[in-house]
Structure 1
Amino acid sequence: MRWDEFRTSSNVEDRRGDEGYGGGGGGLIPGGRGGLGIGTIIILGLIGWALGIDPRLLIGGAEILSGGGGGPSYQQQAPSQTSSAPPQDQVGKFAASILGNTEDVWKAVLPAQANVQYREPRMVLFSGATRSACGAAQSAMGPFYCPLDQTVYVDLSFFEEMRQRFRAGGDFAYAYVLAHEVGHHVQNLLGVLDKVEDAKQSASKAGRNALSVRVELMADCLAGVWANNSNQKYKFLEEGDVENAMNAASAIGDDRLQKQSQGFAIPDSFTHGSSAQRTRWFMTGLKSGQVKSCDTFRAGDQL
C-alpha cells in the first residue's frame, strides 16, 4: 500500500505518553501497579467485545479477584506530552495520513452520493487509557468511535496485536481498521447511529445485538467504499493489499473470536458480525464504491 503521499490530517491529537490522560507512555491501564497484565487485559477486552459485554466490567471484576486494583512492523515513539502537531513517528504518521485521505475522499463522495456535507472527525492517539465523551477509553477495548465528540480513539499498539495475535498484519489491513471507525462517523452524519439507538430502547438483548451487527457491517462496507474511491484517484493499492484487509476482517469476526476465547460461538451474542459477514460487506463496498450498497438494514436476514 502506497500511503506516504497521502495528506496528513491536522485533526489528530497525540496523547501518547501523557500521564494526565491516564496513558503513562508504557501502556498502563487504570487498576494500579500489581494489577492485571496487559495480555490478560487484552484477552478480557476481546471477550467482552465479542460477547457484547462492556470490557471495563470484565477487567474490573478480574482485578478485584486478583487482588489488584519477528520484529514489529511499526514502533511507537511516545511523545512526552499531548501534541496537536502531526505525529513524527512512523505509525503516527501512518494514522494521520489515513485519516487525511479519508477526509479528502469523503468530502467528495458523501455530498455526491448522499447529499450530505462531510464534517471531519478528530482522531486521538493514546497509550493504555484516556478519556472520551463516551467514557473511559482503554487499549483492551480496541479502536472505537465516540459520536458524542465525533472522535476516533485508537491505541496504535492494536496494529501490533493484529499482526502477532491474529496474524492479520499489513498496511492496508491497518488502514481498514481506521477506515471502519471513520465509517461510523459517516453513519453518524447520515443519522444512522441516532436511529439505531432509538430502536435499541425497545429491543431485547438479542435484538440490540442484531442492530449492533448491522451497524458494524455497514461500517465495514463504508471502509470498502473509501478504499474504492481513494484507489480510483490515488492508485495506492498494491498486490496482496486486498487479501490482507480481507484477512483482517475475517480475523476479528465474532465467531472466530468467540471460538478462540471459549471454544464455541453464540450467534445471538454477536455484536460485530461473523468473519464471513465482515469480509463480504467490506468487499461489497470495495467493489461498488457506492454508499447505497452499504444499507445493511435493508438486507433482511441475508447479511
Structure 2
Amino acid sequence: MQYRSGANLDSSQMGSGGGRRGTTVALGGGAAILVAIVAMLFGLNPSDLLGGTTAGTPTTAGTNQFEHCKTVTDISTDRDCRFVAYTNSIQAFWAKAYSGYQQTQTQVFDGQIATGCGTATAEVGPFYCPADKIVYLERTFFDEMLKGQLGAKGGDAAEAYVIAHEYGHHISDLTGTLTQAQSIKDTGPKSAQVRLELQADCYAGVWLANASKDPTSPIEAVTADDVNRAVDAAKAVGDDRIQMRSSGQVSPESWTHGSSAMRRKWLAVGFNSGDPNKCDTFAATAP
C-alpha cells in the first residue's frame, strides 16, 4: 500500500481510553479470532467471553497516544501511525458515500480495555462495539494472531482490510441492519450473523476500491499485491479455515462469519464494484 507523500493525518479520530461498561454483543471479523476458536472448541457463545477480567492491564483514558502522527511521513518513524492513515481514509470515504455517516474512533489498546461491550483482552482481536460505536484493536493482533496463528501473509493492506471490515459493521449499525441481524439468534452459512459479517467484508472491499481516489487521502495507491494480501487475510479468517486449524474438522452449522470462499467472494464484490449498494448480503441467495 502506497502512502501519499505530504498527506496530513488526523489523530483526533484515534481514541485514548475505554468506553462504558455494557452488555451489547461486540462484532468481530478479522475480529474475535481466538475467542471464536475457543467457542468452537467448547461450545461457548463468543459474546459470553467478553466481560471477563483475565490477564492484562486495563487501558485508561489519557493523552492521545497518536497525537505525534501529523503526516504520512511519520509512519516511517513510528509504524503505529499507519493506524491513523487507515482510519482517516476509511472515514473520509464513508462520510462522502453515506449521508448518515457518524464519525467515530479507532481505539488501539494494549493488554486489556473496558468497552461498552464488556472487558476485552488481546485474545479477542479487533472488534466493533455497537454500544459505544468504537472500533477496538489490540496492538499485537496483526503480527501475533493474523500472521502468526492464522497464517496470513499480512502487510498494510491486510491490516487495513481488517479495520475497514470493523468500520463496515459501523455502517451496518448506522443503517439499522446490525440491530436487525443481531436480534436473530442463528448460525450457519445462510444465517443473519454470517450475512452481517459478509456485508462488512463487502463494505471493506468498497473502501479498498476507492481508497486512493480522494486526492487528499493518505492512501495514494492500492496495488495488485495489496488486493491479494487483503483477499488472503479474508480467507485466513473464514470459519472453515479456523475450525480446521483448531479442531481438524469443519462444522458449517456453527458458522458465524462465513467460509473462506464466501468472505473472499464478498470482498471481491465490494472491490470490483466500488459500490456499497452492491453489498446486499441479506438477499435470499446472497451467500
TM above 0.5, one fold? yes
Is 1:54 the counterpart of 2:46 in the alignment? Answer: yes
Is 1:223 the counterpart of 2:215 in the alignment? Answer: no
Deviation of 1:153 (Å) = 0.8
* Closer/same/farther in 2, CA of residues 91 and 56 from structure 1, 3 Å limit: farther
Equivalent residue for 1:162, pick from 143, 146, 160: 146
Is 1:10 the counterpart of 2:19 in the alignment? Answer: no
Deviation of 1:10 (Å) = 1.1
The whole-number CA distance in structure 1 between the counterparts of 2:81 and 2:243 is: 33
Equivalent residue for 1:271, pick from 256, 265, 269: 256
Q: Secondary structure at the match of 2:136?
A: strand
Please report the TM-score for the alignment, with normalisation by the length of structure 1.
0.74
Deviations 1:214-253 (A, max 9, x none): 0000000000111112233354212410000000000110
Counterpart amino acid of residue 134 in structure 2: T
- Structure 2: 5+ residue stretches without partners: 21-31, 69-76
The whole-number CA distance in structure 2 between the counterparts of 1:102 and 1:44 is: 26
* Closer/same/farther in 2, CA of residues 54 and 290 from structure 1, 3 Å limit: same
Deviations 1:254-288 (A, max 9, x none): 00000000001110101111000001100100111
Identity of aligned residues (%): 34
Counterpart amino acid of residue 80 in structure 2: G
The whole-number CA distance in structure 1 between the counterparts of 2:60 and 2:112 is: 15
* Equivalenced residues, count: 253
* Closer/same/farther in 2, CA of residues 133 and 264 from structure 1, 3 Å limit: same
Greater per-residue helix proportion: 1
* Match in the other structure for 1:98: 86
Deviation of 1:55 (Å) = 6.9
Cα pair 2:34 2:125 within 8 Å, conserved:
no
- Structure 1: 5+ residue stretches without partners: 22-41, 69-78, 112-116
CA RMSD of aligned residues (A): 3.0
* Closer/same/farther in 2, CA of residues 239 and 287 from structure 1, 3 Å limit: closer
Q: Secondary structure at the match of 1:195?
A: helix
Deviations 1:63-114 (A, max 9, x none): 8xxxx9xxxxxxxxxx998322525573421111111111111111112xxx
Deviation of 1:128 (Å) = 1.4
Is 1:240 the counterpart of 2:225 in the alignment? Answer: yes
> Which of the pair has more CA radius of gyration?
1
The whole-number CA distance in structure 1 between the counterparts of 2:34 and 2:198 is: 23
The whole-number CA distance in structure 1 between the counterparts of 2:160 and 2:278 is: 21
Equivalent residue for 1:83, pick from 59, 63, 73: 63
Instruction: Spell out the pairing of 1:105-120 with structure 2 (5 A cutoff).
Output: 105-111=93-99, 117-120=100-103
The whole-number CA distance in structure 2 between the counterparts of 1:49 and 1:209 is: 20
The whole-number CA distance in structure 2 between the counterparts of 1:195 and 1:58 is: 21
* Match in the other structure for 1:291: 276
Deviation of 1:56 (Å) = 5.9
